[in-house]
Amino acid sequence: MKKTNIAIAALAMSACLLTAGMVSASEDSDWAYIEGKGKMLVGITMFAPMNYEEDNELIGFDTELTKAVCEKLGVEPEFIEINWDSKEIELNSKNIDCIWNGMCITEERKENMSISDPYLLNTQALVMKTDREEEIMADVSGLTVVAEQGSTGEGKLLGTIEDDDTVVVSAEEFFKNSNYVAVDSMAKALMEVKAGTADLAIIDSVCALAMVGEGTDYADMTVNLDNNFGEQKYGIAFRKGSDTTEKVNAAIKELYEDGTVGQIAEKYGLSDILIVD
């Protein structure tokens, strides 16, 4: 009887250890965590052509690509609007599972997060009232410039993102005698210029070219790309060490191969800046 009890106890202990091991393995896998929920929480900010609303529907290049990837991976996307400056906090606290919103890849971000293969080219653009372009480009001393807090534009202007060999004009040097004001989104930066509370904005060229000019709400404004502040590439960010990154990379590769990515890029006028390996 005692031997039987000992054997049963040993089997029970083995089962517990096996279960604990399975739970531990699951907890170590970020993808298992997301798959277990059945949905991926996607952190975004609103700007065309990446994620924006039209007729009360969320659309955009990143929106459609996210949906296509999630369909392949068997999970539902849930889009959550975040404060861009708090994106890493939101990610690490698991309020979101990824940042998929035209995010420029930088060395600092690669150190703090797991980032996908790059998929779009970008640079920094200056946006200003059309009738002031010549004046502003001649001298920005004393002028008020706005950028999204936590953005690449801000990093370039403040010098927290180092210039690389793609830079022709240093944004930090160009704006050294300007007055910088941070705002909470690139869309807000454009509104400040339109309202006259800022003289110019530095924002992603992908955003600027989609949102400014004839036929837009900013028809009286101009996108200036004369200063080459350097080339950037967009990537998708996941938690540091996440195994979801490779899952998403593989899914996007399949979507490139079947033509889906190309079709989405063409729809939003991004074919020329699509990164194709």
What is the rounded distance in angstroms from the CA atom of residue 232 to the CA atom of residue 106?
A: 8
Q: Stretch 170-189: mean pLDDT, rounded? A: 97
Structure token pair of residue 207: 């955003």
What is the rounded distance in angstroms from the CA atom of residue 200 to the CA atom of residue 187?
A: 13
- How does DSSP classify residue 235? E
* pLDDT tens for each residue of 220-252: 999 999 999 999 999 999 999 999 999 999 999
Structure token pair of residue 190: 């454009």
Q: Stretch 57-77: mean pLDDT, rounded? A: 98
Mean pLDDT of the chain: 91
Fold for domain 124-230?
Answer: D-Maltodextrin-Binding Protein; domain 2 (3.40.190)
Residue 7 or residue 110, greater confidence: 110
Establish whether domains 30-121+233-273 and 124-230 are of one fold: yes
| Domain edges within the chain | 30-121+233-273, 124-230
pLDDT tier at 276, thresholds 50, 70, 90: confident
Helices (DSSP H) in the chain: which residue ranges? 2-28, 30-37, 61-73, 87-92, 107-112, 133-138, 152-158, 171-174, 186-195, 205-211, 244-257, 260-267
* pLDDT tens for each residue of 77-101: 999 999 999 999 999 999 999 999 9
What is the rounded distance in angstroms from the CA atom of residue 28 to the CA atom of residue 32?
A: 8
What is the rounded distance in angstroms from the CA atom of residue 179 to the CA atom of residue 118?
A: 33
Domain 30-121+233-273 maps to which CATH number in 3.40.470.10, 3.40.190.10, 2.40.110.10, 3.20.20.140? 3.40.190.10
Q: In this prediction, what percent of the chain has a pLDDT beyond 70? A: 90
* pLDDT tens for each residue of 198-212: 999 999 999 999 999
